[in-house]
Amino acid sequence: MDIAKDIEMFDNFSLDTVKLPEATLRVRHGGSGSPVLLLHGHPRTHATWHRVAPLLAKNHYVVCPDLRGFGQSSKPEDTADHSGSSKRAKARDCIALMRHLGHERFAVIGHDRGSYTAFRMAMDHPESVTHLGILGGVPILEALERCNAQFATKWWHWFFFAQLEKPEQAILTDPDRWYGGTAEAMGADAYRDYQAAIHDPATVHGMVEDYRAGLGIDRTHDEVDRRESRRVECPTMILWSLRDDLELLYGDVLDVWKPWTTKQCGHGLDCGHHMAEEAPNELARDIIQFLRER
């Protein structure tokens, strides 16, 4: 399988491997205008943005990395506290990447697990983040504190992935059956990139480590922020999928975010979980409109 194959729908984008102080990231970037960083979720790579990025690139410089632990980016060293997979560590990577590309201030949009890294960037580096976009998520601390039988039934994988070794063994027995996905839904080249990721044992381990960090060190970071009454200082847009579980689990999704933001907007999109693949035009429209705010 040619995992280095270019993604056709990223026409006029560059594909690079960038060595940073703590990680080496594969990154796709292109366009012109104010910079925006797009962060994928689990179990995707940066290729999930291939239908959205070209639409944004007409007015923005768009950067799409594989987060550390995911795709073809480097995998952190295992530690007892999983700190190498923490959202704080991934946030540092993203700040370093954007500075490497010449951008001190920029917008960040994150989907699913990528939304937690985006949130941590806005909390830890407010001087760098001009706009925060959260797609399909609530703060990790809120999710865990609101956990009930319904959450445990719908999002049981959070707790399964927190176990050691067993998740990797289960996934790698049959990655295609475990994760699903089709070339028709994702696009042929994006699907090929995704297939390379889910069949790679090191990447599967890196993706699961993201969840182990979530239940431990990431939760602790959120708890400290709450005690110190810290909030996201920049404008925040929260979008969620109407055919996913967020409204079922939380009701008013915006209300969950109120204690964590100073200025927010948002709504649901009529699509399933992977909104960048299922509703790219609507998502791009919302992002472009949001980035016009000052």
Catalytic one of 112, 193, 222, 286: 112
Q: Mean pLDDT in the chain?
A: 95
Verify cis geometry, omega within 30 degrees of 0, for the bond prior to 43. yes
Catalytic one of 100, 103, 199, 273: 273
Q: How confident is the model at residue 4 (pLDDT cuts 50, 70, 90)?
A: very low
Residue-wise pLDDT for 212-248, tens only, equals 999 999 999 999 999 999 999 999 999 999 999 999 9
Judge whether 135 and 240 are in contact, CB under 8 Å: yes
- The reported pLDDT for the residue numbered 245 is 94
In sequence order, the β-bridge partners of residue 292 are: none
Q: Is 210 a catalytic residue?
A: no
Q: Is 273 a catalytic residue?
A: yes
Q: State yes or no: pLDDT of 6 exceeds 60.
A: no
State the pairing for strand pair 264-269/129-135: unpaired
Per the listing, tokens 């994150």 go with 110
Residue-wise pLDDT for 20-38, tens only, equals 999 999 999 999 999 999 9
CATH class of the region 14-291: alpha beta
Q: Which residues contact 197 (CB under 8 A, 6 or more apart)?
A: 43, 44, 45, 70, 71, 72, 203, 207
- At position 87, the amino acid (one-letter code) is K
pTM for the predicted model, two decimal places: 0.96
Residue-wise pLDDT for 66-97, tens only, equals 999 999 999 999 999 999 999 999 999 999 99
Strands in the chain per DSSP E = 14-19, 24-31, 34-39, 60-65, 106-111, 129-135, 236-241, 264-269
- The reported pLDDT for the residue numbered 8 is 59
